């Protein structure tokens, strides 16, 4: 009996020592709201992020959209003209990528070594054909994504509160543009302290179409032919109605 008790004590101590103690790097992350509804008048959405971490920990937040594998045209010069010269298959990149840091980290330099930042996204990216210059392709990919507001870095956008009871509150706002696609997004808060990752917390954020937008999207995707015929019929009726209205207006 005594032997069993000692064993339990040893195992308990081992577990206690191995787990990071509260306040020694643990990050609590809250997101509000937890989901985004895309309705008829959706024009983007603001998400509030907040939480607590150890005062010595610097928090970096990433928002990663669903994985997107897509085919692109690559333009190049043919004589004096800019033409599509190749097709490029880009895989394992997120549809959306937003990076938020505090004032303590005014640039993204060095984040890659912690598996963070745009450099890390490039590391994960697979380009086909492989003969293409991956750095150049990523640079062009970034330009395209940035122009759609889908990739962005917001340095210094995380604010800290004064520490209370050995914990420091942090807060940030992020804006999801209207081109945000439906799906499950991952919000990853990473704690950095003395040049190492001390904790990583992940929360899911869902983005979903609702109401008439969902009905139209589903009909277009699942019943394309019926949807196409319906679009033509409505257009014909609408065009005809306007014609009749103008005819009446013209006769009075």
Partner 1 sequence: MWHIYLPIAQHSVLLPVIIGLGFVVGLLSGLFGVGGGFLMTPLLIMIGIPPTVAAASDSNQIVAASASGTYAHYRLGNVDIKMGLYLLIGGIIGGTGGVQIIKVLRQMGNADFLIQITYVVMLGTVGTYMFIESLQTLRATSKPVVAQVEHRESVYARLVRDLPFKTRFERSGIVLSPVVPLALGGFVGVMAAIMGVGGGFIMVPVMVYLLRMPMHVVVGTSLFQILFTCANVTIMQAHSNRTVDFVLALLLLVGSTVGAQVGARVSKRLKGDQLKIFLASIVLLVMLNMLFGLFHHPHSLLSYYGGD
**Residues of the shown chain interacting with partner 1 in the complex, contacts defined by CB under 8 A:** 38-44, 70-76, 78, 80-84, 87-88, 137, 140-141, 143-144, 147-148, 178-179, 181-182, 209, 213-214, 216-217, 220-221, 224-225, 227-232, 234-236, 238-240, 242-244, 246-247, 250
Give the three-state DSSP class for 234: helix
Burial degree of 127 (CB within 10 A; 0-12, 13-18, 19+): buried
| Residues with Cβ within 8 Å of residue 183, at least 6 apart in sequence | 65, 66, 95, 206, 207
CB of 205 to partner 1, least distance (A): 17
Least Å distance, CB 55 to partner 1, is 40
- Report CA dihedral (101, 156, 99, 110) to the nearest 10 degrees: -60
* Shortest separation between residue 186's beta carbon and partner 1, angstroms: 20
With respect to partner 1, which residue has the nearer C-beta, 80 or 162?
80
Q: Closer to partner 1 by CB, 103 or 179: give it.
A: 179
Name which of 129 and 239 has its Cβ closer to partner 1: 239
Smallest separation (angstroms) from partner 1 to the CB of 115: 25
**Nearer of residues 124 and 144 to partner 1, judged by Cβ:** 144
- Strand stretches in 79-224, DSSP E: 81-94, 97-102, 126-128, 151-160, 168-176, 183-193, 196-209
Smallest CA-to-CA distance from 149 within 230, 95, 111 is with: 95
Q: Where are the alpha helices (DSSP H) in 1-133?
A: 2-18, 117-124
Nearer to partner 1 by Cβ, of 132 and 202: the residue is 132
Shortest Å, Cβ 29 to partner 1: 27
What minimum distance in Å lies between the beta carbon of 58 and partner 1?
Answer: 33
Cβ of residue 47: shortest distance to partner 1, in angstroms?
17
User: How many angstroms separate the Cα of 9 from the Cα of each of 19, 206, 245?
Assistant: 16, 43, 87
In terms of CB distance, is 40 or 131 closer to partner 1?
Answer: 40
Closest listed residue to residue 177, CA positions, set 204, 146, 205 = 146
Beta-carbon-side half-sphere exposure of residue 10 (alpha carbons within 13 Å): 6
- In the complex with partner 1, the residue whose CB is nearer, 30 or 133, is 133
Q: What is the DSSP letter of 220?
A: H
């Amino acid at each position: 009996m005594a032997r069993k008790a000692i064993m339990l004590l040893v195992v308990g101590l081992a577990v206690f020592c191995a787990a990071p103690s509260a306040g020694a790097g643990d990050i609590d992350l809250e997101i509000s709201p937890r989901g985004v509804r895309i309705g008829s008048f959706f024009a983007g959405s603001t998400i509030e992020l907040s939480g607590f971490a150890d005062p010595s920990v610097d928090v970096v937040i990433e928002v990663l959209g669903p994985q997107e594998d897509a085919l692109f045209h690559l333009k190049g010069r043919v004589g004096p003209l800019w033409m599509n010269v190749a097709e490029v298959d880009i895989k394992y990149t997120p549809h959306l990528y937003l990076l938020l840091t505090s004032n303590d980290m005014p640039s993204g330099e060095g984040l890659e070594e912690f598996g963070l930042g745009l450099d890390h996204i490039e590391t994960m990216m697979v380009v086909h054909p492989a003969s293409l210059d991956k750095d150049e392709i990523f640079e062009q990919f970034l330009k395209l994504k940035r122009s759609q507001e889908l990739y962005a870095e917001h340095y210094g956008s995380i604010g800290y509160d004064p520490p209370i009871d050995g914990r420091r509150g942090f807060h940030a706002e992020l804006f999801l543009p209207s081109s945000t696609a439906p799906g499950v997004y991952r919000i990853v808060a990473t704690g950095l302290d003395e040049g190492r990752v001390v904790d990583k917390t992940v929360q899911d954020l869902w983005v979903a179409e609702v109401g008439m937008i969902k009905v139209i999207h589903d009909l277009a995707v699942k019943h394309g032919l019926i949807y196409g015929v319906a679009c033509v019929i409505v257009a014909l009726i609408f065009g005809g109605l306007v014609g009749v209205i103008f005819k009446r207006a013209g006769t009075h």
